Amino acid sequence: MTGDLTITSLRGGAIDAISSADLDRKTALAQESATRWFARRVSLRSPLDAALPDRPGRPDKPVLTPPTQVEKRSLHTLKGRIALLHAIAHIELNAVDLALDIVARFATEPVPNSFFDGWMLVAFEEAKHFRMVRARLNDLGADYGDLPAHDGLWQAAHSTRNDLTARLAVVPLILEARGLDVTPSLQAKMRQTGDLESAAVLDVIYNDEKGHVAVGAKWFRFLCAREKRDPAKAFQELVRANFRGPLKPPFNDLARAEAGLTPSFYRALASISHA
């Protein structure tokens, strides 16, 4: 697959991957762009780069619906496990595009190259996760696209398209951190049902996601330090301005803290949301 991938630059490869509606090509481009960038075989930007699209390329299915209309099923049934894995595949696919979008959209920001190293590692791993979950769906006689999915993740990111600090607050430090809160119970439920293969996939995702939140926290703190802002206060202000909906406990405080996201960031937002 990698032989026919023309990559003009890191930004160009990221934009091409975001634009692609062919999900095999999208994930291959994400990983190949990362690999070439890590080896410093491509530049950060090129005049030949295409324009960044407003929305990522997607196949005809799944049909996108409001989150409230996505049906929830018991994990004790095969249909329920397929529904959960389908929802996770959709989250991981969005995460591929979101990591690439941070690189492509903010390629002109005055940040060190290690910023792009971090986000391309995230993009590489999110592509791996999507492929793993899709392969597990295939094992269970299903595929990504068989069920409807919601569009909330991309909408949340779109609202922060003009502000890198806000983007870091919303995507890694809220949306990805939420995965640290909910995944352990899903792993346990999968094991209870005897679906050890799906639980093993979730184990890989959970361990990688800690690193992704850590990348977000590192660069959020970096930007706050440069702007002489208190990171916890800045986080709360940016979340109130850019994120709809409450931050829902329970929080996995230990995993969040390991990633550099301490309770001083999010506890105040959780208590306000219940007022």
* pLDDT classification of 236: cutoffs 50, 70, 90: very high
Sketch the domain layout of the chain as residue ranges: 65-271
* pLDDT classification of 1: cutoffs 50, 70, 90: very low
- 5: pLDDT strictly greater than 80: no
10 and 45 Cβ atoms separated by less than 8 Å: yes
- 37: pLDDT strictly greater than 50: yes
- 31: pLDDT strictly greater than 90: yes
- 2: pLDDT strictly greater than 70: no
Q: How far apart are CA 25 and CA 42, in angstroms?
A: 19
- 190: pLDDT strictly greater than 50: yes
Residue 75 corresponds to which tokens in the numbers above?
A: 């994990």
The 10s digit of each residue's pLDDT in 64-121 is 887 776 677 788 899 999 999 999 999 999 999 999 999 999 999 999 999 999 999 9
Residue from 53, 62, 65, 69 nearest 14 by CA: 53
The whole-number pLDDT of residue 271 equals 56
Q: What is the mean pLDDT of residues 228-235?
A: 97
Residue from 150, 129, 136, 94 nearest 209 by CA: 129
Q: Which CATH architecture has domain 65-271?
A: Up-down Bundle (1.20)
Q: How far apart are CA 196 and CA 125, in angstroms?
A: 21
The whole-number pLDDT of residue 71 equals 72
* pLDDT classification of 52: cutoffs 50, 70, 90: very high
